[in-house]
Amino acid sequence: MQATLHDPVDVKKCAPITHRRRLGDCLVANHQLKELITTELTQVGFDMVPNEKATECTVHLPVDHWVEVGALCLLARSSTATCLRDSRGDLVAWKGADTAEECVEDMVTQADCFRIQYPWDLLKLNEEVLTLIDSSEIAGEISPLAQVDGNLHLGRGSVILPGVYIEGNVIIGKDCRIGPNAYIRGETSIGDHCKIGNAVEVKNSVIYPNTNIKHLSYVGDSVIGSHVHLGAGTIIANYRHDGTNHRSYVGGRLVDTERIKFGAVVGDGVRTGVNTCIYPGRKIGPGRMTLPNAVVDKDLMGNDLSAGK
């Protein structure tokens, strides 16, 4: 069996996290999405080939879908040009033609799969992948005065300082400094060279490499890009008073995230002033800055690099 990966046509809906990277390069459980998909496929016997070497026997898989590999194995056995669709009718993969439009048959799967259209879909996938972790792997140092209640993957050169409490399945990359007195919980992944400091709580979030959250901050159910600095006292709220799903503007329209808990999506290189408060469901574009005591009650995605209210 052969398979090849394709970039999706439209990645703007995943902004700002895809502003400077392809969707396949986005991180899930500290691995690039395309790496996770490749691992899943090779484990069941697929050989990965580049697009230019694809044949009529090759399964074509866009990286904006996460699907049970059993359905892809069934597609690989098809003898005609066939599209694989999910229960909603969305295209998942195809075989036997250069493009899906050339296929002559449809195959519908009831397998668990979903499309990665929006940044909160990456958060969902991160949760699903980390839930599967069933043991700890420790390559760094953990203070005897820290507590881990769950499964922790800790990278080489990383240090967990006194007073840190880690609860749930958590991945922390290489050369990170966590604590003292930090709280990390839920299915959280923290990239290489990050600093999570004193009295910081991170819950159920994806944090890219080289990001600093050093003092007195809360980050809940959020995706935080690389080289971000959250000033002391920055709070990313994640819950509505009325308990309904969060909605977020995408392409000028409000989209239901289908999440009761959802924080923010923060692009690469963002810097927040001290005591910045970010409303749930907001997006901050790459390189943006906020002033001290700023309230971010709407998306900051334009060209004006500083904001405060």
Long-range contacts of 244-253 (CB under 8 A, 24+ apart): 246/280, 246/281, 247/281, 248/118, 248/120, 248/281, 248/282, 248/283, 248/299, 249/283, 249/299, 250/13, 250/118, 251/12, 251/13
- The active-site residue out of 215, 227, 229, 241 is 215
Structure tokens at 276: 């910045």
- Could you tell me the CA-to-CA distances from 115 to 61, 105, 112, 309 in Å, in that order? 12, 21, 11, 36
> Which amino acid, residue 237?
A
- Alpha-carbon gap, residue 211 to 208, rounded angstroms: 7
Amino acid at 57: C
Furthest-apart CA pair in the chain: how many Å? 63
| 229 included as an active-site residue | no
Note the helical H segments in the chain: 33-43, 69-76, 119-131
Q: Which positions are catalytic?
A: 215
